[in-house]
Structure 1
Amino acid sequence: MSSSPEKYSRETLSEVRAWSPTLFSLRCSRDPHFRFRAGQFARLGVPKADGRIVWRAYSMLSAPHDEFLEFFSIVVPGGEFSSELSRLRAGDTLLVERQPFGFLTLDRFVDGHDLWLLATGTGVAPFLSILQDFEVWQRYERILLVYSARTRAELAYQELIEQLPHRDYLREFADKLVYLPVVTREAVPGLLHGRITELIASGELERAAGVALTAEQSRVMLCGNPQMIEDCRTLLKQRDMQLSLTRRPGQVAVENYW
C-alpha cells in the first residue's frame, strides 16, 4: 500500500511501553483534525531504510476525546512491520493515515441490554477505547469485558480497566461493568482458564458473569485471533445470533483487519 503525503500526518512518539517480551504499546501525538469513533482503527506507517513505507492497521486504544493516540501491538518474529515498530523510541516519528476505518463501533447495534466484548491478546485495544467513551455506559445496562491472554503476565492494561468505573464521568455507572480475565496456558486463582470458545460452550463464561448470553438480550463484539472469531461466530450462530449488517441488524460485530 502507498500513500501520498497529504493522506497521513507525522506524529511524534511520547511513550513506548513494554508489557512483556512480545507485547508493547505506543503513545504518540494526535493531529487536531484526526477524528474517529471508539472502536475504529487507523493505518500506521513506518519508513524502511530503502525509502519504502510499510503500513499496517491498528485499533486506537485511546479514547476519542484524548489528545494523544495509543496503540497496542505484538511483536511478530520476523514481521516486517511489528519488528520495525517495536524498535521505535520516544521522540521517533510514526506516520498515521488521516482517515480512520472500521465498523466495530456501537452503531452496529440498534438495541440490546447486555454488551459482551470478547477479546484475545491485542484485540482488547478497541474495547478499551469504547469503554473510555461515555456512550457505551449510557446505552447498556451491563457491559462484560472478556479479555483472554496466554498468561497472567500478558494481561495488559489491568490498572486502566480497574480504574475505569472510578473516573468522574463514569462513576455513576460503576456497577455496570463485569470484567472477566481469562488465561489459556496457566491456572491462576480467581481467573478463568481455557479458550473463550470452550468457556462459552461449557456455560462457564455465563456462570462466571452471572449473565445469560442470549439473542434477545445480548450484543457481542469480537476482536482478536481470527480462529477465535470464526469459532465464536459458529457458537453464537447456534444461539440464533447473527452478524449485524447495515441491511440486517443482528447481535454480533467483528473486526477483520488481521
Structure 2
Amino acid sequence: MSDRIKEKARLAPSAILTVEQVRSVRHWNEHLFSFSISRPASFRFRSGEFVMIGLQGESRPLLRAYSIASPSYAEELEFLSIKVPNGPLTSRLQRIEPGDDVFLGRKPTGTLVADALLPGNRLFLLSTGTGLAPFLSLIRDPDIYDRFGQVVVVHSVRQVSDLAFRVDLDSHLAGDPLVQDQALVQLSYLPTVTRESFRTQGRIATLMEDGRLFEGVTGPRRLDPATDRVMMCGSMAMIRDFSARLAALGFAEGSNAKPGHFVIERAFVD
C-alpha cells in the first residue's frame, strides 16, 4: 500500500469506510458519467441497495449516497452520477481517472430490493435520470426473473444522450453470462425523452395515462395490485406523484420489515 493510500485510510474512519481504486470512468455527456471501483472481498450487498461514496475533503471525507449499478456478484462496483459544476463532491468526482482513490462505505442498505416486495407477475421499474442505477443491478440478478414473469425498465430523461446504458438495455442484456436467456424473454425496456425527438416522448405519468407504458407487455393495460409490483427511483416529483397514484389504486408501500406492492428509496426522498 502506497504512503498516499495509507494517509487517506488514516483520515477515513476505518470502521465505516475503506479506500478503493477507480477502475474505469465513462462520460456519457456533459452532465452524466459512470465509474467503477475495486470491490473489497468482504463487501456484500443485495441488488438494488446503495452505499456511501466519497473523496477526502479539507478536514473530513465528503460523502454521498450512490445506488450500486453493478449486480451483487460483480467483481467491481459501478455507479452512475450527474455532474454538478459547483457540487462539493460531484464537482471533484467527475474528474476522477482510473487509478485514483475513493472512499467506499462498509454498510450498503436500501429498500429498492426484491425482498421488500410481495410476490407478483409484472415488475415495473420506474426511473428518471440517474435513478436507473439500482435497476441496472436488479435486472442483472437471476433471482429477479425467478420472482417475476415480466420485468419492465422505464427510463425517463430530458435528452437522448442521457439514456445511459441504452445499448445494453436495447439488446436485452445480450452477452450477459447469467441472465441473457431470461432477459431476452422477460425483460422490456422503455426509454422516453421529454425535451428532444425520440421514438417515445413524454413523462412516465403520461405513458401510463395513454397506455404506452404497457406496450409490449402482456396483461392488462393498467396497474393492478393483485399482479403488479413497482419500484421507483429518481426525481422526487415523479416518486411523489406515482406514490399517490398507486395508493389510490390500492397499492401498499413495502419495506424490508413489511413487503408491499411498491417501494421507493426513502433515504433519497426523506
The question of a shared fold, defined as TM-score above 0.5 by the shorter chain, is answered with: yes
- Out of 235, 239, 244, the residue aligned to residue 234 of structure 1 is 244
Amino acid at match of 2:186: K
Gaps of 5+ in 2: 1-10
User: What does 1:149-160 align with in structure 2 at a 5 Å threshold?
Assistant: 149-160=157-168
2:231 to 206, 221, 227: 221
**What amino acid sits opposite 2:249 in the alignment?**
R
Instruction: Quote the Cα distance in structure 2 between the aligned partners of 1:140 and 1:74.
Output: 31
| Counterparts in 2 of 1:36 and 1:234: CA distance versus 1, 3 Å | same
Please give the residue correspondences for 1:174-253 in structure 2 after superposition, counting only pairs within 5 Å. 174-188=184-198, 191-207=199-215, 209-212=217-220, 213-245=223-255, 248-253=258-263
Residue 55 (structure 1) aligns with: 63
More displaced stretch, 220-229 vs 164-173: 164-173
- SS for the counterpart of 1:164 is coil
Alignment map for 1:1-258 (pairs within 5 Å): 4-48=13-57, 50-161=58-169, 162-173=171-182, 174-188=184-198, 191-207=199-215, 209-212=217-220, 213-245=223-255, 248-258=258-268
Which amino acid in the other structure matches residue 111 of structure 1? P
Comparing 248-257 with 213-222, which one deviates more in the overlay? 248-257
Asked if the contact 1:145–1:179 (Cα under 8 Å) also holds between the matched residues in 2, the reply is yes
Moved more, 173-182 or 219-228: 173-182
| TM-score normalised by L of structure 2 | 0.88
- Structure 1: which amino acid aligns with 2:150? R
Does the 8 Å contact 1:119/1:146 carry over to 2? yes
For structure 1, the residue ranges without an aligned partner over 5 or more in a row are none
TM-score by length of 1: 0.92
SS of 1:9's equivalent in the other structure is: strand
What one-letter code is carried by the residue in structure 2 that aligns with 1:184?
Answer: T
Q: Name the aligned partner's letter for residue 145 of structure 2.
A: W
User: Which one-letter code corresponds to 1:57 in the other structure?
Assistant: A
Distance 1:257 1:228 in 2: 16
More deviation, 23-32/202-211: 202-211
% identical equivalent positions = 35
CA offsets per residue over residues 8-57 of structure 1, 9 Å max, x none?
Answer: 11100011110010000111111110000000000012112x23211100
Q: CA RMSD in A?
A: 1.8
Structure 1 residues 163, 142: closer, same or farther in 2, change over 3 A? Answer: closer
Separation in 1 of the partners of 2:24 and 2:259?
A: 40
